[in-house]
Amino acid sequence: TQACLSAIDGADALGAIVHKTPELALERAKAADQRRAEGDAPDMCGIPIGVKDLFCTEGVASQAASKILDGFKPEYESTVSGKLRDAGAVMLGKLNMDEFAMGSSNETSVYGNAVNPWRAGNSDASLTPGGSSGGSASAVAADLCLAATGTDTGGSIRQPAAFTGTVGLKPTYGRCSRWGIVAFASSLDQAGPMTKTVRDAAIMGRAMMGHDAKDSTSANLEVPDFEAMLTGDIRGKVIGIPQEYRMEGMPAEIEQLWSDGTAMLKDAGAEIRDISLPHTKYALPTYYVIAPAEASSNLARYDGVRFGYRAEMAPGDGITEMYEKTRAEGFGPEVQRRVMVGTYVLSAGFYDAYYNRARRVRTLIKRDFDEVFAAGVDAILTPTTPSAAFELGQRVSDPVEMYLNDVFTVTVNLAGLPGVAVPTGKDRNGLPLGLQLIGRPWEEGELLNTAYALE
């Protein structure tokens, strides 16, 4: 813990940590030492971690990187961060992210962007660590903590993991309780671990999962010992390669990475099968209807009364002006865009044309996966992102170009499946590149074992 705290003190330029909690960390580290001395030490006991600012942490600022939650210090702990705390993990601080987890580059944060510790070749241009869990990825990659929590609504664990050479697991929808995590799109949101290795993801992931009566979508299922399942033996496993992910204009290095990964799994004894997921091309537009729709509803609670920020009032202002000014000043431009898109697609006149249609297409996307798994495929291998980390500032002015980053990751959330991003190579500038494995529901253990064979 002390080594991490001093690393953090020297790393302000990365912008990864937005609320530091050194006293709390030392107190928890001492308690962890005590537990170890008493022989009561779960795997996470004493492990210094960072927690994404989206998780409510008791008595510690939890702002979802938004001005509208300025000064908000929850009186409760999210179930997931509480499980880690109870397992003895030591929180070093809260980590940067895109505002309300909306973004792919950590550039929509009220705290300013986080920076990727990697550089392209000899260039000194600052790169994005990805988003929305950019602070988590940056902190893990720069050794400011041993692991971090992330959340993934459309790729926010897996894409930043790919950009920073770290491992990111998005569990099956329902594995991790959403209770106490600031809601973005409730039917898509999942918490998960961001770590240096697959083994660490197995250990930390298990500690984060489990049934919680406070989240009605939380699954009441046993969480197996994932670490014990890491044998590296994948003989006879069927790995699907979906043709629809071979996008036009995909960089040759990504093609190469993908075929190298395929060859590796084949050499390890897996059977490689070409598969089709025909509705893939509708995934991005479907996601960018459903996610803003749910966000516009979830974000209605930020009204200047219950939480955080309230705008200055002018004489004569009533409650309507208070709401309007607070929301106009408290939400950044990307969040406002999502709220507007969301309210539009949910409005009486357009509900059927957009929201309902997107929901139906979502079912078709899910069915594509169901059919492939029913035909005997154990896991699906794809690239995690269409490129390596890009420069900060490069894409922020064009939302559509930013949304295209999520092309390989959003299908997994729409279908509620587990997905893991594993670093497997470098591009010509030495930047990390990653592959994604998608598994059957509740089979995170098998999925991590396949990732282990790729690592």
Binding site for ligand GLN (CB under 6 A): 101-104, 132, 152-156, 184, 291, 406
As measured in angstroms, the least distance from the Cβ of 402 to ligand GLN is: 7
Nearest by Cα to 437 from 261, 283, 280: 261
- Torsions phi, psi for 65 (to 5 deg): 55, 35
Nearer to ligand GLN, 156 or 326 (CB): 156
Of 104, 105, 109, 132, catalytic: 132
Distance CA 204, CA 193 (A): 6
Count of residues in the chain? 455
Active site residue 156: yes
Instruction: Respond yes or no on whether the N-terminal peptide bond of residue 347 is cis (omega within 30° of 0).
Output: no
Q: Report which residue's Cβ sits closest to ligand GLN.
A: 156
Instruction: Output DSSP code: residue 181.
Output: B
Distances from the Cα of 389 to the Cαs of 39, 120, 129, 169, in angstroms?
43, 9, 7, 19
As measured in angstroms, the least distance from the Cβ of 185 to ligand GLN is: 8
As measured in angstroms, the least distance from the Cβ of 332 to ligand GLN is: 13
Nearer to ligand GLN, 47 or 161 (CB): 161
Nearer to ligand GLN, 406 or 444 (CB): 406
As measured in angstroms, the least distance from the Cβ of 421 to ligand GLN is: 12
Nearer to ligand GLN, 182 or 377 (CB): 182
Distance CA 79, CA 101 (A): 18
Nearer to ligand GLN, 326 or 413 (CB): 413
Distances from the Cα of 158 to the Cαs of 122, 203, 407, in angstroms?
26, 17, 12
Nearer to ligand GLN, 1 or 411 (CB): 411
**% helix / strand / coil in the chain, to the nearest 5?**
40, 15, 45
As measured in angstroms, the least distance from the Cβ of 449 to ligand GLN is: 25
Distance CA 270, CA 241 (A): 12
- Torsions phi, psi for 426 (to 5 deg): -130, 155
As measured in angstroms, the least distance from the Cβ of 406 to ligand GLN is: 5
Nearer to ligand GLN, 126 or 132 (CB): 132
As measured in angstroms, the least distance from the Cβ of 289 to ligand GLN is: 12
- Torsions phi, psi for 19 (to 5 deg): -135, 115
Distance CA 151, CA 164 (A): 16
Distance CA 193, CA 176 (A): 11
Residue 303 and residue 256 in contact, taking contact as beta carbons nearer than 8 Å? no
Of 104, 126, 156, 218, catalytic: 156
Residue 280: partners with Cβ closer than 8 Å, 6 or more residues away = 242, 244, 245, 365, 368, 411
Q: Active-site positions?
A: 52, 132, 156
